[in-house]
A and B are shown apart, each in its own frame.
Chain A
Amino acid sequence: MTETLTLYLVAATVCSAVSSGLMALMADRNPFILRLMVFPLLGLSGLLSLGVAGLTLVAGVTLAIELPFGLPWLYWHLRLDPLSGFFLGIIGVITAIVSVYGPSYVRKYQHGPYSLGALGLFTGLFVAGMQLVVLADDAFAFMVAWEVMSVASYFLVAYEHHQAANRRAAFLYLLMAQIGAVLILLCFGIFGSFATDFTFDAFRVAQLSPLWASLAFALGLAGFGMKAGLVPLHVWLPEAHPVAPSHISALMSGVMLKVAIYGFMRLLFDFLGPPRWEWGLILLAVGSLTAVYGVLHALIQTDLKRVLAYSSVENIGIIFICLGFSATYLANDAPVIGTLALIAALYHVLNHALFKSLLFLNAGAIIERSHQHDLEAMGGLIHRMPWTGLFFLLGCISISALPPFNGFVSEWLTFQTALQAPILESGVLRAVVPIVAAILALTGVLAAACFVRVYGISFLGQPRSRNVRRAREVRMGMLIAQGILAVLCLVTGLLPTAFVALIGTVTESVLHQPITAATRHGWLWLTPIDPQTASYSAPLIMLGVLMALVTWFFVWAWLHKSRGKNPLPRRDPWDCGFGGLTPRMQYTATAFSMPFVQIFRPAWRLNEQRTREMDGNLPTKPQNLGYQLEVEDRAWQWLYAPVGKFVLEASRRVARIQTGHLRHYLAYSFVTLIVLLWLIS
């Protein structure tokens, strides 16, 4: 009974996403369809997939179906298990919230040159593609869904295609997505040659020789890593996220990167069997590099959405570190700790989906109202957009891994697993695991610095440009969407035990290792290993923070009464006695990150330009001082430029056979024919 219900729900989920896309085709003529049909259908699809996730995770329903289409010898297989259910849930939450945000947000395109129909169509297909990726149970269905997801998102990135830079970014994205897809295809090909057919069931039982298993692991890591944004394959992210419409950036960064993580987890924990410790080491190395590299770049960028994109790179790195811990412990006969690390990874997947979507939706609100992408032009927005300011603040606290919000919980769980390093047998691993934890600690603090900078420069201080000075609060729909996400960030931070229990069902189905110690002591206490080792009570910490705020409120209320209706006296800030502080005298975003630039200089490729002209009459008096900083991604210089050069050179060589003479082409055809005949005979 429940299985049939689930089946219908799954069908309805995907169908409503697709039909939302199809409905949008009419939206160019009648824009109201967008509000009345397209976004509600998208929201419905999101809620339905959340419902399916709930049925799987709470009621334990699993499903395996074969659809009557696909290749003649391989019909489409779909399967719903706790792992896909969890990711389906994440897709559902963010899609539903984006569909609340969307109607108000896309109004800005209503009278513009771009087609609303295209936006709605590809959004619907994009969401349907992601849902099918996590549901797919054979290589063919997986690849088709994966391509639908990639290509639809390409059109979304290229949506504002009148600017050449956007087209360039979208092309880069498409190129990398396709290379990644080829690598994944090759990875599946290895499994296919060892298995009886291309269903995932056959992949699971396939016995790969160690060499081929390692090769499949490497191909999968590169293929899925390209989509997820592992350094050095991350370069499309900071280009593509800023140019896409903000609710699409939220979907791409919050959800699509997670779908890539899903693919990799399916490969690592489901197909490849027990992980090997070398793989764990590789994951730890790649994850650490990605995390530190991402956060350092996020710290120095001045384009708001670019900062967020690099911060996504950082968070993907953190997730891969968790996966690396998990693989390392599992390979060393420590299944409980390995499972705990996997829980931390999935928790961070959930957290990142929530807070990064929130931050992108905030960024969309800011950019819509201030028409500024650049942090250096913002300032003082909290006075103009108080609610967005509040939600953005909550998002910043969450992403900075500060208690009692959700980012802290996953970081804490990761540290707890890292601290179990003494149970590992190999001395090298015992040393590596804590060092990676140290890198993780550094990443967390740098992220906090990064988001203090983002928030302080954009929302606090005085406005640095006219548009920002005139910004207004955004419409209700956009605020509600941000508010829901902010509350979810707080809830996932405050009730870690409930979510760990939920994720525990996922990890139990993947690793067959139940986690009972973590949640044994009730909702108030999270005790990953046992209460003697470590315990954390987020609700009680929150109580303390609330007490501080309540104190403030009472002091305020009490003084308000005694003072009468007079507000607190306002004065000019301290200006060293010279008078006339202007917004240009504030610390800028670049200035804020200068100490970090001094310390971590080799991490970036910096292009600094200083101007220093002195007064002709008085050589100590500066006439004109200037400082300009441009940052380039070192990956371009080290990886992409040589590869690009090589490809150009190779194609130039190959082009020599293109002589333009008909007889040469006839000769090629003849030779090819002969070779083929020889081959088949």
Chain B
Amino acid sequence: MVDFLKVMGWLFALLQVVMFVAAAPLFAAWVKRVKCWLQNRKSPPLLQPYRDLRRLFGKDVLLAHSASPIFRTAPYLVFGTTVIAAAVVPLVALELPTARVADAIVLVGLFGLGRFFLALAGLDVGTSFGGMGASREMTVGALAEPAMLMVIFALAMVAASTNLSTVIHAILSQGIALRPSLLFALLALLLVGIAETGRVPVDNPATHLELTMIHEAMILEYTGRQLALMEWGGQLKLMIYGVLVCNLFFPWGIAQTLDPLSLLIAGALLCIKLIILGAALAVAENLVAKMRFFKVSVFLSIAFTLALVGMLSFVMLESA
């Protein structure tokens, strides 16, 4: 625990969080752009999400008559917990002091805290949509979170640590060894990520079709800067899952020291990885249709089973 007091480390961690938060809308825009290309549509410019955010921040906030303080604080808490979660995830460098603050289980807990307030905000105004969204979100969360924890358990057993930085370090040091446990965990994490970030086939971020929406239903009553924070929080969550997939399973290139050259290389490599991942996500979203809500449980139990199989295959085959 000696390296906690290094000012440089904290400064860089802060910078990394700022980069993370700032880049999140760009990643969402990239996925949307690829989707548009595939659908032969003209895509909005890559900077469109930023313009949307600026527009929303400039607008007045309107509150429903029955809105309580929970409704008003929820956007800040949802965004805040997502930012803390982003601070915990190694972006371009390992061994930053923020990685020690919380491990992967706490990361899941932070997402849980955000979801808790998001669902409460959905229920707050007392409309049917909000309640519907909250109920569905908690259902999806209840199935996705255990699967996510199983992924983490599989990784944690491989690396004998739940600390994300140490896990990545362990995977790096093992070279390109194709372990069945990691493969299963990767598949499960992809499925969980799709569910948790509300992408097709679980939820459709582009729709306001009333009976199918989950995330949009909860934030239906939000306006102005509160809506902006909610949207931005959603984009940030997508980015976090993207970075988790890239850095946990394809960590090669991530900077292990804080010298400028390796950081630059790490940043460039991460950009390439995210571009590929985003394109893959867009392709996948175009290939499948949104599924009925009650089929989501099957989708997520597949994720859970995959992660469990991953963990068990480590316990049975690899650890002895």
Contact = CB atoms under 8 A, between A and B. Distances in A.
B142 to A, nearest CB: 4
A525 interface: yes
Interface stretch (A248-256, A281-289, A595-603, A672-680): A595-603
Contact of B294 (A415, A430, A457, A595): A595
Given A460-B68, A586-B131, A568 B100 contact: no
Contacts of B314: 422
Contacts of B156: 419
B192 to A, nearest CB: 12
Given A573-B127, A585-B127, A415 B105 contact: yes
A310 interface: no
B174 to A, nearest CB: 16
Contacts, number: 262
Given A380-B126, A545-B84, A571 B73 contact: no
B162 interface: yes
A430 B319 contact: yes
Contacts of B239: none
Interface string B141-166: 11101100110010011001111001
B145 A568 contact: no
Contacts of B293: 595
Interface stretch (B26-34, B44-52, B116-124, B257-265): B116-124
B91 to A, nearest CB: 17
Contacts of B42: none
Contacts of B160: 422, 533
B113 interface: yes
B1 A531 contact: yes
A contact residues, range: 35 or more
A97 interface: no
B103 interface: yes
A586 B80 contact: no
A291 to B, nearest CB: 13
Contacts of A455: 120
Given A431-B315, A587-B128, A596 B142 contact: yes
Interface stretch (A22-30, A35-43, A108-116, A438-446): A438-446
Given A380-B126, A431-B312, A537-B102, A573 B149 contact: no
A419 B76 contact: no
Interface string A588-620: 000111111011000000000000000000000
Contacts of B304: 438
Given A544-B83, A568-B61, A412 B139 contact: no
Nearest to A588: B131
Nearest to B87: A544
A521 interface: yes
B228 to A, nearest CB: 12
B112 interface: yes
Nearest to B142: A445
A590 to B, nearest CB: 10
Given A533-B162, A535-B103, A595-B294, A449 B141 contact: yes
B272 interface: no
Nearest to A415: B105
Contact of A581 (B116, B127, B162, B311): B127
Contacts of B134: 452, 456, 587, 592
Contacts of A531: 1, 100
Given A568-B61, A573-B221, A535 B127 contact: no
Given A452-B123, A461-B126, A574-B221, A445 B141 contact: yes
A402 B220 contact: no
A326 interface: no
A58 interface: no
Contact of A437 (B60, B100, B153, B166): B153
B128 A586 contact: yes
Nearest to B119: A452
Given A545-B81, A548-B76, A573-B127, A456 B103 contact: no
A383 interface: yes
B146 A442 contact: yes
A382 interface: yes
B64 A595 contact: no
A532 B166 contact: yes
A430 B315 contact: yes
Interface in A544-592: 544-545, 547-549, 551-552, 555, 568-576, 581, 583, 585-587, 591-592
Contact of B65 (A412, A437, A555, A571): A571
A402 B131 contact: no
A462 B68 CA distance: 10
24 contacts: A382-B68, A401-B112, A403-B106, A418-B153, A419-B157, A422-B319, A444-B145, A445-B145, A448-B116, A448-B142, A527-B1, A535-B163, A537-B100, A548-B80, A549-B73, A552-B72, A576-B210, A586-B128, A592-B135, A592-B138, A595-B136, A598-B294, A599-B139, A599-B297
Given A547-B80, A548-B81, A587-B130, 17 more contacts: A379-B126, A380-B126, A421-B315, A431-B316, A438-B149, A444-B145, A534-B105, A536-B101, A541-B101, A541-B110, A544-B83, A545-B81, A571-B65, A595-B139, A599-B143, A599-B294, A599-B297
> Top 3 closest A-B pairs, CB basis?
A587-B131, A548-B80, A456-B123
